[in-house]
Amino acid sequence: MNAIDKTNKSFEDIKHIDENGVEFWYARELQSVLDYKEWRKFEGTIKRAINACENSKVNVLDHFVGTDKMVKIGSGAARMQNDYKLTRYACYLIAQNGDSRKKVIALAQTYFAVQTRKQEITEKEYSMLTEDEKRFYQRNLTRKGNYSLNQTAKKAGVKNFDKFHNAGYKGLYNGETSDDIAKRKGLRYREDILDNMGSEELAANLFRITQTESRLKRDKINTEKNACDTHNKIGKIVRNAIKEAGRNYARRFANTKEKFKTIRKRK
């Protein structure tokens, strides 16, 4: 079992289901999986995640619920210990605000980001969607994600957006620019490469987009060069995560058999 599968299993192993069938995680158990030795430091991460939740205009109490429980401390004695019941979204925010030097934090960001995105579907479970439906869903998210990323990049000092976006593509596609990708896919001039990706490839790009925006904000990037370097670095991190997951990256994501616009006309 590789590191990603092992970590994903750990997150599933500590998941709880309440009497209403709603999933949740205990912060104390998540602390252990995320390799935090001290509750004090981990609680600081939780508080940053709560602030991020508030800043997103999301009701904190829907995702972070304080809870106290008695724990044994030896010789039959017990004491009250504070904890939190967390939703998957809360876990995602905690991972986003965690110690980025820890490899398990990067894996947690991937796991909870993907799972949280999937849970946004209310009419059907993501796994039940057809490949075409998944492509529409992921394409819509990447479109929204790129718009948000552009706004953040502009505030970070980016003026040459072609350069900025190509920095990310080069990181994810091992040196390829958007034009290189379009040429490899056999696309016409100015045909959107994102319209010609399968759901897996779109999901990888969505993760690149969201993580870059998060890093630009968190690190308070304020120059175009640093913004481009950050985008490139995040692209490489996503590429390496895919490689570690066992994906044959030499295939460079298989070209889709049907263009996105063709599918749209069928709908």
The series of mean pLDDT values per 10 residues for the chain, 267 residues long, is 56 83 89 91 94 87 87 71 90 86 78 68 63 81 90 96 97 95 89 89 93 92 97 94 67 52 47
pLDDT at 116: 66
Q: What is the dihedral of CA 105, 115, 145, 265, to 10 degrees?
A: 150
pLDDT at 234: 95
Phi, psi of 83 (to 5 degrees): -150, 180
Task: Name beta bridge partners: 25.
Answer: 86
d(CA 184, CA 21): 46
Q: What is the widest separation between alpha-carbon atoms in the chain?
A: 75
pLDDT at 63: 92
pLDDT at 243: 83
pLDDT at 119: 62
Tell me which H or E stretch contains 23.
strand 23-26
Domain boundaries, the chain: 3-90, 121-266
pLDDT at 70: 72
pLDDT at 247: 57
Task: Name the token pair of 225.
Answer: 């060069």
d(CA 194, CA 201): 9
pTM of the complete model beyond 0.85 = no
Q: Which burial class, exposed, middle or buried, applies to 192 when counting CB atoms under 10 A from its CB (0-12, 13-18, 19+)?
A: middle
